[in-house]
């Protein structure tokens, strides 16, 4: 049944790697004794810059792997490969250098020698019994599974089958593009598209469609060619069929979740993390 509502899905626990990552490092830095006032400002700048450089390096690695996998699965023409088009859009937004993009494509086409990569999703229970699905792109699955198993165990959880708690869905975010259509008009048009299951109005005057993951390409084509709308983001992911309510005042649990999710996010093989926690 089609729903058109602002709050279509429960607010699932999300995290901003930038905010959490920088906050943790800032807290550590504040515990350092200030011995040399004249050098303290530069030390802070250098420290924060180092964190940002590390963070950007991890992001660039993930983006390059996603481009490589997209080309491997669907070819190097973004006009025919929606996953590649989405990966290139993300790369552009993150200012991934052109050389990195070109090299990722060449590796996928075999023009540059590279290790074979795989797209593997790992499952398990994290802190508080929360179910997690962790999507990875890896050239060494033995290393990846060892690291993820360590993260789950350290957080008091375990790797186990939890995918039955989720439905795999596609999502497409779009705006009016070159048209002057209102949100109501856009919603009316989107409702007419086959396989659209849900539509959500977002805060930036755009809409998000929820659909079967297999229908993303077809819906993208209809939005852009029939209605001339601009597609901002496309992705496939997992939506929980049931959620676990998290008490935000439980500091111990929130700290465990923060550490666990930072560990996942900081791993260069991890592309997406899904969970069934609700705040």
Global pTM? 0.68
Domain(s) of CATH 1.10.10.200: residues in the chain: 32-109
Highest mean pLDDT among 80-84, 151-155, 266-270: 151-155
pLDDT tens digits for 5-30?
Answer: 333 333 445 433 333 333 332 333 23
Looking at every residue in the chain, the average pLDDT score rounds to: 80
> What are the tens digits of pLDDT across the range 167-217?
999 889 999 999 999 999 999 999 999 999 999 998 888 999 999 988 988
> Cβ distance 140 to 115 under 8 Å?
yes
pLDDT level of residue 131 (50, 70, 90 thresholds):
very high
Q: How confident is the model at residue 43 (pLDDT cuts 50, 70, 90)?
A: very low
**pLDDT class of 52 with cuts at 50, 70, 90:** low
* pLDDT band at 48; cut points 50, 70, 90: very low
Task: Please state whether beta strands 3-4 and 198-201 pair in parallel, antiparallel, or not at all (unpaired).
Answer: parallel
CATH 3.30.70.980-classified regions of the chain: 1-13+118-279
CATH architecture of the domain 32-109 equals: Orthogonal Bundle (1.10)
What is the second-level CATH architecture of the domain 1-13+118-279?
2-Layer Sandwich (3.30)
Phi, psi of 98 (to 5 degrees): -60, -40
166, HSE (Cβ side, Cα atoms, 13 Å):
25
The per-residue DSSP string of the chain comes to: --EE-TT-S--B----HHHHHHHHHHHHHHTS----HHHHHHHHHHHHHHHHHHHHHHHHHHHHHHHHHHHHHH-S-TTT-HHHHHHHHHHHHTT--HHHHHHHHHHHHTSS-----EEEEEEEE-GGG-EEEEEEEES-HHHHHHHHHHHHHHTT-EE---GGGEEEEEEEEEE-TTS---HHHHHHHHHTSTT--EEEE-TTS-EEEEEEGGGHHHHHHIIIIIS-PEEEEEEEEEEESS-EE--TT-HHHHHHHHHHHHHHHHSTTEEEEEE-EE-
């Amino acid at each position: 049944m089609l729903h058109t509502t602002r709050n279509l899905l429960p607010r699932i626990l999300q995290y901003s790697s930038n905010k959490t990552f920088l906050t943790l490092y800032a807290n550590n830095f504040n515990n350092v004794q200030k011995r040399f006032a004249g050098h303290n400002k530069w030390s802070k700048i250098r420290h924060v810059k180092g964190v940002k450089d590390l963070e950007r390096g991890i992001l660039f690695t993930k983006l390059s792997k996603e481009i490589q996998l997209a080309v491997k699965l669907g070819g190097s023409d973004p006009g025919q490969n929606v996953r590649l088009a989405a990966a290139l859009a993300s790369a552009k937004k993150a200012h991934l250098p052109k050389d990195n993009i070109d090299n990722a494509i060449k590796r996928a086409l075999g023009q540059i020698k590279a290790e074979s990569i795989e797209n593997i999703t790992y499952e398990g229970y994290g802190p508080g019994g929360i179910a997690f699905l962790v999507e990875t792109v890896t050239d060494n699955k033995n290393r990846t599974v060892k690291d993820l198993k360590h993260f789950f165990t350290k957080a008091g959880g375990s790797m186990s089958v939890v995918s039955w708690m989720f439905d795999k869905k596609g999502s497409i975010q779009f705006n009016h593009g070159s048209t002057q259509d209102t949100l109501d008009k856009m919603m009316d048009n989107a409702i007419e598209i086959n396989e659209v299951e849900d539509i959500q109005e977002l805060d930036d005057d755009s809409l998000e469609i929820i659909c079967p993951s297999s229908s993303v390409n077809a819906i993208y084509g209809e939005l852009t060619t029939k209605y001339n709308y601009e597609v901002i983001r496309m992705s496939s992911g997992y939506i929980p069929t049931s959620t676990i309510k998290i008490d935000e005042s439980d500091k111990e649990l929130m700290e465990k979740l923060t550490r666990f999710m930072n560990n996942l996010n900081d791993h260069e093989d991890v592309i997406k993390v899904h969970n069934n926690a609700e705040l």
